[in-house]
C-alpha cells in the first residue's frame, strides 16, 4: 500500500470521523491501535435524518429512472476514484487483506453492483390485454429505506442495499455495524459528492438507534444483513410500522463432495469457498461432507493449502487471510474448535490461535474425523475453521446437510455434471452452487430459506423488493375503439 493511498485514507477519515475527544474509538482489527472516532449519533439524530430523507424522496423519485441511473453511474465512478483509499481504511477496520478476495475485491464489487443496478430495466407487466380490459402491474418507490449493514463485508453489502433502493427512487438512511462504521461512512461521503442532498444519509449509532430505525413510523422498507437473532428482533420492531422487510440472515452452508470426484481439480475452490474473508462470510461453506472414497485425499489437500496460505496484517501485500474482526467472534471460533478437539476430532491443520501475528488471529483450521452432532458442525462458526465430515451413504449426507434450521447457500462437488445437477435439487437452501461455493452475480437473485431470512436481492427481483406495486386497470381494446 503506497504512502499516497494511506494519506488519501486519512483525508477521507478526517471528513467523517467525530472531533477529537468525541465519538467512539474504532480499533484496527489487526493491531488493535485506534484508527479513528466514529460519530456517536443518538435517536434524535436518526429522527432528523429520516425526516430529511422523507422530505427529499419525492424530488428524487421525480427525477425519473434515466437521471437516477446517471447519478448511480457517477457514484460508481466516485468510488473507483477513491478505491485505494477506501480499501486501505476497510483493511484496517475490518481486518481483511488488500489482496485476494478481500478489500480491493470488495471495492470493485461496490462499483460493479452500482453500475449493474443503473442499467436494469423494470418495465410494467401487462396482466390482461383483451377486448374488455387492459391491466398493468407497475412498480413505484417504496419511500424511505432503512439499510442496516453487517461488519464482515460492510461496503459491498451496504451497496447491495442502497444501490437498488436509490435506483427505484427511494431515499436511504444507512446504519453500518458498530464494528465497522468508518469505512462505510467514508464511502457514503464519496457517493454524496455526486448525489443530491439528503438522498443518502449515514447514521452511526448503537443498538438503540438500530431498533428505532426498524420501528420508525416514516421508514417504509428495512433491508438487513446479519444474524438470525437480530433479524427476529427487527421483525418484532417493524410490527408497529408494517415496514416491508428483506432479511439476509445467518447461514451454516453445507458442501457435499460426491463419490469419484477429482479432488485435485476442486481443492483450491473448496478451500476458498470456506475461507473467503477468513471464513467471515454469511454464504461461506461452514461444513463439508465428503464420501469415503475421496475423504482422506480431500482432508490432506485442504490441510496442505491451509498450511501454506499467507496470513497477517492486511496492509501487507503478501497476505490473503487476516484476523477475526472482533473479540466476540474470535471467542466463538476458539470455543467451537476446542469442543471439537475435546470430542476426539483430528486437527489436520491449524487448530489454535496465532498470537505472534496479533490478538485476534486464528490459524486456518481443518478439523477431520468429526461427528455430525459436534457444535462446530451444528453452529455457524463464522471464522477460519472447517469441519470435514465423512459419509458413506449419499442419502445420509443430504439428510445431514438439510437437518439445520438455516438455508442460505449450499454446494455440491462432482466430476459428473448430471449427477451434480440432480444432487443440487436435493439441497434445502436459497442458492446451490456446483463445483464452487459463494460466488454471486449482480443479475442473479440471492436470498435464503428457513431461518436464513426472506426476500430476494440482486437483478430485477432486487429492484422489485424495494418497490411497491400498483395495478393500473382500464378499458380494453373494444372500449378504446
Average the pLDDT over 109-117 and give the result: 98
* Same domain for 459 and 426: no
- At 478, is the pLDDT very low, low, confident or very high (cuts 50, 70, 90)? confident
Confirm if 350 and 305 have CB atoms less than 8 A apart: no
Over the chain, what is the mean pLDDT? 97
* Same domain for 266 and 242: no
pTM for this entry: 0.96
Phi, psi of 66 (to 5 degrees): -65, -45
* Same domain for 230 and 280: no
- At 481, is the pLDDT very low, low, confident or very high (cuts 50, 70, 90)? low
Q: How many structural domains are present in the chain?
A: 2
Task: Take residue 229 and report the three cell numbers written for it.
Answer: 437473532
Distances (CA, A) of 121 to 134, 136, 144, 460, 472: 22, 16, 21, 7, 19
* Same domain for 368 and 235: no
Distance CA(251)–CA(74), nearest Å, equals 34
Residue 157 has a pLDDT of: 98
* Same domain for 345 and 244: no
Confirm if 249 and 406 have CB atoms less than 8 A apart: yes
Q: Is residue 447 part of a domain?
A: no
Domain of 413 in residue numbering reads as 254-434
- At 4, is the pLDDT very low, low, confident or very high (cuts 50, 70, 90)? confident
**Would the pLDDT of 1 be above 60?**
no
By percentage, how much of the chain surpasses pLDDT 90? 97
* Same domain for 328 and 232: no
- At 477, is the pLDDT very low, low, confident or very high (cuts 50, 70, 90)? confident
- At 5, is the pLDDT very low, low, confident or very high (cuts 50, 70, 90)? confident
Beta bridge partners of 335: none
* Same domain for 285 and 170: no
* Same domain for 308 and 353: yes
**Would the pLDDT of 370 be above 80?**
yes
Interval 420-447: pLDDT, tens: 999 999 999 999 999 999 999 999 999 9
Interval 356-368: pLDDT, tens: 999 999 999 999 9
Q: Is residue 122 part of a domain?
A: yes
Positions marked active-site: 248
Average the pLDDT over 255-266 and give the result: 97
* Same domain for 397 and 296: yes
Sequence-distant (≥ 6) Cβ neighbours of residue 157 within 8 angstroms = 149, 150, 225
Average the pLDDT over 300-322 and give the result: 98
Q: Is residue 478 part of a domain?
A: no
Residue 480 has a pLDDT of: 65
Interval 395-425: pLDDT, tens: 999 999 999 999 999 999 999 999 999 999 9
By percentage, how much of the chain surpasses pLDDT 70? 99
Cβ atoms within 10 Å of 360's Cβ, excluding its own:
25
Classify burial at 356, counting beta carbons within 10 Å of its beta carbon; exposed 0-12, middle 13-18, buried 19 or more: exposed
Give the domain CATH number at 152.
Answer: 3.40.605.10
Amino acid at each position: 500500500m503506497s504512502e499516497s493511498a494511506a494519506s488519501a485514507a486519512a483525508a477521507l477519515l478526517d471528513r467523517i470521523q467525530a472531533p477529537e475527544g468525541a465519538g467512539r474509538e474504532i480499533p484496527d482489527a489487526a493491531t488493535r491501535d485506534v484508527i479513528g472516532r466514529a460519530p456517536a449519533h443518538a435517536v434524535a439524530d436518526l429522527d432528523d435524518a429520516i425526516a430529511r430523507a422523507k422530505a427529499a424522496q419525492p424530488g428524487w423519485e421525480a427525477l425519473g429512472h434515466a437521471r437516477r441511473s446517471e447519478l448511480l453511474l457517477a457514484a460508481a465512478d466516485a468510488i473507483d476514484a477513491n478505491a485505494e483509499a477506501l480499501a486501505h481504511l476497510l483493511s484496517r477496520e475490518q481486518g481483511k487483506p488488500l489482496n485476494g478476495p478481500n478489500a480491493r475485491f470488495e471495492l470493485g464489487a461496490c462499483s460493479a453492483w452500482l453500475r449493474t443496478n443503473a442499467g436494469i430495466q423494470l418495465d410494467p407487466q401487462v396482466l390482461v390485454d383483451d377486448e374488455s380490459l387492459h391491466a398493468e402491474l407497475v412498480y413505484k418507490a417504496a419511500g424511505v429505506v432503512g439499510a442496516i449493514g453487517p461488519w464482515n463485508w460492510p461496503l459491498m453489502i451496504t451497496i447491495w442495499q442502497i444501490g437498488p433502493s436509490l435506483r427505484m427512487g427511494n431515499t436511504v438512511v444507512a446504519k453500518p455495524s458498530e464494528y465497522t462504521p468508518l469505512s462505510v461512512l467514508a464511502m457514503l461521503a464519496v457517493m454524496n459528492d455526486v448525489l443530491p442532498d439528503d438522498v443518502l444519509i449515514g447514521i452511526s449509532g448503537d443498538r438503540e438507534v438500530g431498533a428505532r430505525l426498524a420501528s420508525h413510523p416514516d421508514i417504509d422498507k428495512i433491508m438487513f444483513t446479519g444474524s438470525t437473532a437480530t433479524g427476529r428482533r427487527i421483525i418484532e420492531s417493524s410490527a408497529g410500522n408494517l415496514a416491508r422487510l428483506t432479511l439476509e440472515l445467518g447461514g451454516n452452508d453445507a458442501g457435499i463432495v460426491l463419490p469419484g470426484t477429482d479432488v485435485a481439480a476442486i481443492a483450491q475452490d473448496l478451500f476458498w469457498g470456506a475461507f473467503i474473508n477468513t471464513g467471515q462470510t454469511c454464504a461461506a461453506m461452514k461444513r463439508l461432507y465428503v464420501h469415503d472414497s475421496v475423504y482422506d485425499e480431500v482432508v490432506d489437500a485442504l490441510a496442505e493449502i491451509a498450511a501454506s496460505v499467507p496470513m497477517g496484517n492486511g496492509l501487507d501485500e503478501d497476505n490473503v487471510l487476516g484476523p477475526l474482526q472482533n473479540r466476540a467472534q474470535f471467542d466463538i471460533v476458539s470455543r467451537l474448535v476446542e469442543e471439537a478437539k475435546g470430542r476426539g476430532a483430528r486437527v489436520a491443520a491449524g487448530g489454535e490461535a496465532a498470537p505472534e501475528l496479533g490478538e485476534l488471529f486464528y490459524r486456518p483450521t481443518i478439523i477431520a474425523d468429526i461427528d455430525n452432532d459436534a457444535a462446530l458442525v451444528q453452529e455457524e462458526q463464522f471464522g477460519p475453521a472447517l469441519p470435514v465430515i465423512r459419509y458413506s451413504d449419499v442419502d445420509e449426507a443430504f439428510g445431514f446437510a438439510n437437518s439445520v434450521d438455516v438455508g442460505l447457500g449450499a454446494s455440491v462437488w462432482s466430476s459428473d455434471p448430471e449427477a451434480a445437477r440432480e444432487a443440487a435439487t436435493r439441497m434445502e437452501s436459497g442458492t446451490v452452487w456446483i463445483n464452487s461455493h459463494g460466488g454471486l452475480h449482480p443479475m442473479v437473485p440471492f436470498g435464503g430459506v428457513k431461518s436464513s431470512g426472506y426476500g430476494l436481492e440482486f437483478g430485477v427481483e432486487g429492484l422489485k423488493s424495494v418497490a411497491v406495486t400498483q395495478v393500473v386497470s382500464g378499458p380494453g381494446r373494444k372500449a378504446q375503439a
